[in-house]
Chains A and B, each alone.
Chain A
Amino acid sequence: MPINNPRFVDRSWTRDCDYLNFDLEDSVPQSQKDYARSQVRHAIVQGQKGAAEINIRINCAYPDADVPAAVWPGVKQINFPKAETGAQIRHLDALITELERVRGIRSGTVRIGATVETTLGVANSYEIASASPRIDAFGGGTGYDMSMDMGIEMFVGFDQFVYNRGEGELIALALGLEREGGVFMSDTTGNVGNAELSIKRAEASRKAGLRTGGGLHPNVVAPQNLGLTPTVNEVEDAHRVLSFFAELDQRGETEGDMDGRIVDKYEAARAEELIEWASLCAHRDAEKSAAREQTAAELDEQN
């Protein structure tokens, strides 16, 4: 969200977001860049009221001005848009390292989110993703900027970014990073607040092994949280799979038929992973809920 818009920033903690991406880049007009930079610390306080992780998206053209304005205690990640080279990321890493030192932030803890939004960025994905240990997640380039660079119109009903996404995900896997992105779903409207599409995409993405989402409208937060969280039925099923596999193991068997499907060590590992992910999601939801309750109580007291 544009960090220069207090209406958005001051309500950001109420949105139940796992993370908030406060923007110094494309949603902030040139004339307000300085003002936007001055709002980072206020935005951190607002966003943390709901226990969201705080990300700041800087301008790729102004890292030297933006990074000192963005790196403060409480900031989890600096998002670098339109990443095109490893050198850009190394420069960003050096700026962050220095600011961590002078601002009392534990060394190496501020992450970098490198966003690929141009064809050159896709072409150089490996050098970008491997340029800093601060990058722990990576994905392929899609979106408006990428469309412009590819000379394409978006929302035409088919997947135009197969290669970009494939490159990003392969590179993430090769480097041991979390994969970022989303499964393609046909969308011919470009409606940023489409909750129905958002939940379908989130569910499909989770089943494709992805765990993060993002959006431009508060309407899509709840659908994404829901779609990216395993359902109660899925968790129950995973427990049954683990029990069944444990029984197999006791009998010295490596695979068996459970209600018409084969359960083996791979299915068991998948079930274990799902239970672990569901537990992390529940923990995160409880954390956010407690923070929002506390903030609401404090506000009540003040009033």
Chain B
Amino acid sequence: MKPFVRRSHLLVPVLDREKVETSWTHNADSVILDLTGIESEDDRSRARSLVKESIRHASRGGAHVFVLPNKALARADIEASVCPGLKGIVYPGAETSADIEEADSILSELETGRGIASGVLQIIALIDSGTGVWNIREIVTASPRVCSSGLDELNLCRNMGIIPYADFDPFVYAKGRIVVETRAAKVQPIGISHPYGVLPQFDDADEIYQLALRGKNLGFAGAICPDPSWVVQCNTAFAPPADRLEFFRETRRLFAEGVARGTAAVPYPGTTMMIDVPVDENARVNLELWELCAAREAEKAKAIEKQESTMA
């Protein structure tokens, strides 16, 4: 899978039409249209009938649009969703490779039937059980469609009988395991730092930013945003820090000079830091990610510009 930038995944209930229609205005890298939590059969049918139109709304700002189906009704929900413009699905409560293989098979069938290039639809695997955490390796390697994986912390609490509590993170091990196994499979881990995974808040921009940044520094590449207030903070926190770019460039320059002189252990002037291969590589990786983030921003800006000129 080509490298991609999805720092923010804005979650929007399909039946909340106002939120759907404005979803493209928040500058999210991705929008997830939520088909879960719908009680009545009538509402479910209505939601399914609205998905394709919702995908058009959500993608107007250049966001990658995903649909979150009900696990028990996955086939019907996915059938209602797959159309050109959809980036993929979020698979809720993945527990084994068989779950992902089944979703893969449904997507393959629908790609063929609906004129979509084979294999392009992606899967974000959400984990909400101890079984899923334990089987994370087989889940993220079950299909080349799996692009990201993360914990559904609230449902994981329910399934494990945990009462969410701000002072204590019950998922240190689970998050560590998700990050390590997901990255080892070259898939992006998504998540935010405690306590927002279990007790999300929406009115303190700085706290949102700090917890997203802490999430990044635990190894996550982006987060699911239950509210638009998280989007900008996540876009900033999950990108390399702008104030470190010059440092990264200078690191690369000094190291290249050192190597030319015959040393690969180069002191960084004015600090106690030594630059060696991993430090130089870290600078390279950050500069590359910065470029990718800039390209993603340009892509979204172009889409918004196009929308605005169409609307004018």
Contacts and interface: CB of A to CB of B under 8 A. Distances in A.
Is the A/B pair a real complex? yes
Interface of A: 2, 4-5, 25-32, 118-120, 122-124, 143-145, 147-153, 156, 158, 160, 162-164, 166-167, 189-194, 216
B219 A2 contact: no
B223 to A, nearest CB: 13
Contact of A123 (B184, B244, B279): B184
B182 to A, nearest CB: 8
A149 B218 CA distance: 11
Contacts, number: 106
B296 interface: no
Contact of B216 (A29, A144, A145, A152): A152
A187 B251 CA distance: 20
B265 interface: yes
Given A148-B281, A150-B219, A162-B176, A123 B264 contact: no
Contact of A153 (B137, B217, B221, B259): B217
B205 interface: no
B262 A31 contact: yes
Contacts of B177: 163
Given A2-B263, A2-B265, A123-B137, A163 B278 contact: no
Place the interface of chain B in its size category.
35 or more
Contacts of A151: 183, 216, 219, 221, 285, 289
Given A151-B219, A190-B272, A26 B183 contact: no
A26 B277 contact: yes
B263 A5 contact: yes
Contacts of A164: 176, 180
Interface of B: 137, 172-173, 175-177, 179-181, 183-184, 214, 216-219, 221, 241, 244, 258-259, 262-265, 272-274, 276-279, 281-282, 285, 289
Contacts of A147: 278, 282
A27 B265 contact: yes
Given A27-B265, A190-B272, A145 B278 contact: yes
B274 A192 contact: yes
A158 B211 CA distance: 13
B179 A27 contact: no
Contacts of A189: 272
Given A151-B219, A162-B176, A118 B264 contact: no
Contact of A150 (B179, B265, B277): B179
B272 A191 contact: yes
A192 B272 contact: yes
A106 to B, nearest CB: 34
A148 B263 contact: no
A144 B279 contact: yes
Nearest to B280: A26
Contacts of A150: 179-180, 183, 219
A150 B263 CA distance: 27
B221 A122 contact: no
Given A119-B179, A192-B273, 5 more contacts: A26-B278, A32-B262, A144-B279, A145-B281, A153-B244
29 contacts: A2-B264, A4-B263, A27-B265, A27-B277, A29-B262, A29-B264, A31-B259, A32-B264, A118-B184, A119-B184, A122-B180, A123-B180, A123-B184, A144-B276, A144-B278, A147-B278, A150-B180, A151-B183, A152-B216, A152-B218, A152-B219, A153-B217, A156-B217, A158-B217, A160-B218, A163-B180, A167-B180, A192-B272, A193-B272
A199 B285 CA distance: 33
Contact of A190 (B244, B258, B264, B273): B273
A82 to B, nearest CB: 10
A269 B175 CA distance: 36
A90 B180 CA distance: 24
A194 B216 CA distance: 27
Nearest to A124: B184
B184 A122 contact: yes
Nearest to A84: B184
